[in-house]
Structure 1
Amino acid sequence: MRRDPIRQVAYFVPDVRVAARAHSALYGSGPYFVAEHIPLTLCRYRGQPGKLDHTSAYGQWGEVMIEFVQQNNPEPSVFFDMYPNGGSGIHHIALIVDDIHAAMRHFEAQGFAEGLYAEVMPGAGFAMMDTVKAYGHFTELYEPTPPLLGVYDLVKRSAQGFDGTDIIRPFAF
């Protein structure tokens, strides 16, 4: 039986900086690390080659990472699947799993198709499983690689003692 805890809640928004500042003002989350035009070495959308240019802001809210995502290109994507007319809202939750491909097969066996598979570097992939009809959001999967855990650690450590200043901070993969 799987017991993977939610590690992240992600929202699709038109502007990650505006969303991060608003969330921080309301909930005290942050600071937010903004990665512009995140490079992908591989991108597959619904089983076909895809193109995704996106910017993300990562911040901490209690024990959960918050991500704000904006898409910078017009190509079809899992983001536009949920928000085709420029809307915004919750998009996915993220789980860190021991074996991404085994977890993908598990989700597929339960009737949840792969919406997106992408890699930020060869072997460092993430998948968005289409759990929208059942849960109202996608489910993102990735493995606990040292770079990924390093990002989670940086964001969480930076939130300790965060006083609400310097909310937006640059970040690169």
Structure 2
Amino acid sequence: MSRYFGPLRQLGFVVNDIDSALKHWIDVVGVGPFFFVEDQPLNDFVFRGKSSAPRFSVALAHSGSVQIELIQQHNDEPSAFREFADRGLEGLQHVAYWTTDFDRYMEESKNRGLVELQSGRSGSGAPDERFVYYEDGPYPGTVIEISEVSGRKGDLFRAVEAASKEWDGSNPIRDMRKVL
């Protein structure tokens, strides 16, 4: 557990082929069900201090208390995901911590000297759906994400986790937009 942010809640993987990655996680690893959205809604997205409009697919599932996120970017707009892939990397790109006290976590990050990489609001774009990613430095796969899990995003994350607890292997890929 992080002494700064609490328990690690998500492992975020950047993949070149989300369909192949889903198949691997479902058939080989046995994790699911995955909740998939072809075009993840973003609002107020900023990468390295400049507005950007990346388009990417996302799939979410749980293994115990840890969420697995698969991300495939579909355009060349600047983002941490595009930058990771452009470095020839695929796999674990970030670890995420969840909070309902986003401002306090932001202040803690600032006090510790973390460098903001990208930020915005996900899902419906509500004021309580903020996220921020911080630089990983020399260790690929260790970008830190702080994700606000109040409101609808929190409800979505809880529904994804609940679905994993009794998953019997059926209906392994589900439409994320139909969860809430």
What is residue 151 of structure 2 aligned with on the other side?
Answer: 146
Q: Which residue of 2 aligns with 1:113?
A: 115
The one-letter amino acid paired with 2:35 is F
Runs of at least 4 residues off by over 3 Å: none
Could you say if the C-alpha distance between residues 50 and 139 of structure 1 is closer, same or farther in structure 2, counting changes exceeding 3 Å?
A: same
- The one-letter code sitting in structure 1 at the alignment partner of 2:17 is D
Asked if 1 retains the 8 angstrom alpha-carbon contact of 2:36 and 2:57, the reply is yes
Unpaired stretches in structure 1, ≥5 consecutive residues: none
Aligned residues: 173
Gaps of 5+ in 2: none
In the alignment, the residues of structure 1 paired with residue 137 and residue 174 of structure 2 have an alpha-carbon distance, to the nearest angstrom, of 31
Structure 1 CA distance for aligned equivalents of residues 111 and 5 of structure 2: 17
- Cα gap change, 1:157/1:163 in structure 2, threshold over 3 Å: closer, same or farther? same
Task: Tell which deviates more after alignment, 29-38 or 143-152.
Answer: 143-152
Does 2:170 match 1:168? no
CA–CA distance in structure 2, aligned partners of residues 112 and 169 of structure 1: 36
Residue identity in the other structure for 1:103: Y
Instruction: Give aligned-pair identity as a percent.
Output: 25
Q: TM-score, normalised by structure 1?
A: 0.89
What CA distance in whole angstroms lies between the structure 2 residues aligned with 1:131 and 1:86?
Answer: 16
CA gap of 1:60–1:27, structure 2 versus 1, over 3 A, is same
Asked if 2 retains the 8 angstrom alpha-carbon contact of 1:29 and 1:62, the reply is no
1:64 is the counterpart of 2:66: yes
Please, what is the CA RMSD of the aligned residues? 2.0
Work out the CA distance in 1 between the residues paired with 2:48 and 2:111: 16
8 Å contact from structure 1 (residues 104, 114) kept in 2: no
CA 133–42 in structure 1, closer or farther in 2 if over 3 Å, else same: same
Question: What residue in structure 1 maps to residue 160 of structure 2?
Answer: 155
Partner of 1:55: 57
Cα distance in 1 between the residues matched to 2:64 and 2:39:
27
Return the offset for 1:26.
2.2
How far, CA to CA, are the matches of 1:155 and 1:132 in structure 2? 31
Q: Deviations over 1:103-141 (max 9, x none)?
A: 233223323211111113141211111134357421111
Which range moved further: 116-125 or 30-39? 116-125
Q: CA 1:98 to 1:20, structure 2 compared with 1: closer, same or farther past 3 Å? A: same
